Amino acid sequence: MNASSFPCFPATPHQDGVASAAAAGTQPGPVPQDITYFDATSLRETEVGTGAYLMPDRMRIRRIREYLLFTLLRLAAFINIFALFGVCAFLVWNGLSALSWDFLTEAPRNSMTEGGIFPCIVGTTLLGLGSLGVSLPLGVASAVYLHEYAGASRFARSIRLGVNNLAGVPSIVFGLFGMSFFVIACGFGISLLSGLLTLAVLTLPVIIGTTEEALRQVPVAMREASLALGATQSRTIVRVVLPAALPGILTGGILGLARAAGETAAIMFTGAVFFSRKEVDSLFSPVMALSNHIYVLATSGTDIDKTRPLQYGTALVLVLLVLGMNLAAVILRDRLQQVRRR
Amino acid sequence: MPVASLRRETTVRRILAVVAGCSLLFLGMIMLFLFIEGLPLFSTVSVSDFLLSMNWYPTAEPPEFGIFPMLVASCAVTLTASAFAVPLGVMTAVWLTEVARPGVRRVCKPLIEMTAALPSVVIGFFGMVVAAPLLQDILDLDSGLNLFTASLMLAFMSVPTICSVAEDALFAVPASLRAASLALGATRRETTVRVVIPAAFSGIGTACMLGMSRSIGETMVVLMTAGGAGILPRSLFDPVRPIPSVIAAETAEASFRGEHYRALFAVGIVLFLFTLAFNIAARHISEKNSGGKR
């Protein structure tokens, strides 16, 4: 393990060397740059001679323990990354054969055992974009208020508390809420509208969090410059702060969209149905969704074993969709950080 | 500033405040609707019967609503999942901040975060068709859909949560602390174990709480892999039925505002309170930390 692998410590090349030189009690000379194992035996005989460093065995044990711990840590990280790749590779391996143009563009046939998943793709897209259409304006406005206006006031603190707790509410509870409020109390029925509103509430904390982060990255000097030129605060926000934070806000939007697309429990009773013969023609028609489709096909479809390829194919499409969106968000964010660093 | 413009600023500020209040409003409405729909159940079933009785026969005559086995199942699944997820998540976070090179870190961190983005239904599906048959063969079980499989899959889901929160905490430890420890002759292991981790300890605690909150509320994974038997688990490999899976499986069938429907909302209240408690605990730990340090 090279000393320069230590992330938060810019001046690292000498860190091992400094420690060893101090321990050995010699004047600092040219220090070897890549001591991995501190070979105390050789040190005693050649460099130090007098052996001011008295416990070579203990030092070696310390090095070995360091090596063991770091190996364990690497192993833990490796397990995680391996699990992600394992799941993806498995889905690609099994699902790729089911994927075809027809699979993506046809409706299910023969009581769901054949055909494609086109209505599910449409449904998931509508649910995702629709929920984003509601949650993005709400979330951005909330974040602007929290970050630009409210500061640390009591009202702002309680809103932050609310957002944090909203983020922790299980998706199935959102489902129950959506059913009792949007479906029944508002009278929307099991429909696209109920589903997307439920998802909008669910993704709101994601949008608020990422937007606030993006606003935090905009330098104060930019705001001050605009205010000094005589712009009002609202004009400063619209003309200066929001444009500067736009990439970060977009990242948040993509993450919210991905979250909404992958969600199942929240739409099970609010917007998604297993099968709908009718095309989606209004906000009030029920929709089919990829996530719900996988669940029903895998657990209570007409012929579970026969539809396995369909299940793999649907799961693959959903994962590609969600991970693709996340990848886009990550790249966007990464590029943003690079630009800022320059 | 002209008066008209000043007035407009005030209006903008007020409108934004109202919009920002929406989150609080939604949280309040979620609670309100859970309680409106769920609480009437307790006029016919006592709270202690509901929480501690063993039988859940919502459609029998007379119906019985005891959620004790589900409570035990939820706790068992969450604890078992945490037993995997907490060490794994914290160790990965330590690796990311203390060991990995900046280049490796830049690639690996988004990868681990991406695990969090995998839809839960896909993880559940993976558990059903891969993990369950595999474990069934290896361990020679009656059914691969059991507490252990569900816990493994939940652990997989909550590791990224734990990892990213713990990583933030570790990253916030000042570099001067590390430098001081290294200058005293400590190895990097000693610095990590005795200085960095203790300094970030409460942040790591927060991470664990949030991870557990995620596990206990996760629905699709337990619905698809836990086996769905409403009994008290006697071993790690018994099929169980945690709280979220009951709601997910039965809500579509319950008749509107019947007793069963009310009971499911009451179960929802219990789940909501559980996650609320975890979140408040997490917040409490992190606030105590920042208060103590500064």
What pLDDT, on the 0 to 100 scale, is given for residue A110? 66
Domain identity same for B281 and B169: yes
Contact B276 A319 (CB under 8 A): no
What pLDDT, on the 0 to 100 scale, is given for residue A54? 53
Mutate one of B109, B113, B118 to test the A interface: name it (highest A CB count within 10 A). Answer: B118
pLDDT mean over A87-112:
83
Domain identity same for B176 and B238: yes
Confidence of residue A21 (pLDDT cuts 50, 70, 90): very low
Contact B247 A175 (CB under 8 A): yes
What pLDDT, on the 0 to 100 scale, is given for residue B205? 92
Confidence of residue A301 (pLDDT cuts 50, 70, 90): low
Domain identity same for B32 and B70: no
Domain identity same for B209 and B289: yes
Domain identity same for B190 and B257: yes
Closest Cβ opposite residue A291 in set B91, B92, B119: B119
Domain identity same for B278 and B153: yes
Distances (CA, A) of A241 to A147, A215, A223: 11, 7, 7
Domain ranges of chain A: 3-80, 101-341
For chain A, where are the alpha helices, taking DSSP H only?
Answer: 15-24, 40-42, 56-95, 101-105, 118-144, 154-168, 171-178, 192-217, 220-228, 233-236, 242-262, 290-300, 308-341
Residue with tokens 């860190």: A15
List the domain range (segments joined by +) for residue B20. Answer: 3-43
Identify all chain B residues contacting A77, using CB atoms and an 8 Å cutoff: 91-92, 95-96, 100, 108, 112
Q: Does B261 touch chain A (CB under 8 A)?
A: no
Identify all chain A residues contacting B101, using CB atoms and an 8 Å cutoff: 2, 4-5, 7
Identify all chain B residues contacting A5, using CB atoms and an 8 Å cutoff: 99-101, 104
The residue type at A8: C
The CA distance from A169 to B251, in Å, is: 18
How deeply is A34 buried, as exposed, middle or buried, from its count of CB atoms within 10 A (0-12, 13-18, 19+)?
exposed
Contact A170 B218 (CB under 8 A): yes
- How large is the ipTM? 0.91
Domain identity same for B180 and B92: yes
| Local confidence pLDDT in tens for the 294 residues of chain B | 678 888 888 999 999 999 999 999 999 999 999 999 999 988 888 888 888 888 888 887 788 888 999 999 999 999 999 999 999 999 999 999 999 888 898 888 888 888 888 999 999 999 999 889 998 999 888 888 889 999 999 999 999 999 999 999 999 999 999 999 999 989 889 999 999 999 999 999 999 999 999 999 999 999 999 888 878 888 888 889 999 999 998 888 888 888 899 999 999 999 999 999 999 888 888 877 664 443
Is the pLDDT assigned to residue A238 strictly greater than 70? yes
**Fold annotation for A101-341:** MetI-like fold (1.10.3720)
Domain identity same for B16 and B88: no
What residues contact residue B163 under an 8 Å CB cut-off, 6+ apart? A80, B89, B90, B92, B93, B96, B112, B207
What pLDDT, on the 0 to 100 scale, is given for residue A95? 87
Domain identity same for B100 and B167: yes
Q: Which residue has the higher pLDDT, A271 or A207?
A: A207
Domain identity same for B153 and B26: no
Q: Mind listing the pLDDT tens digit for each residue in B3-21?
A: 888 888 899 999 999 999 9
Annotate A292-313 with three-state secondary structure.
Answer: HHHHHHHHHCCCCCCCHHHHHH
Q: Mind listing the pLDDT tens digit for each residue in A33-56?
A: 554 555 555 444 444 444 445 556
- Number of domains within chain B: 2
Contact A142 B8 (CB under 8 A): no
Q: Mind listing the pLDDT tens digit for each residue in A140-157?
A: 999 999 999 887 788 888
Domain identity same for B37 and B58: no
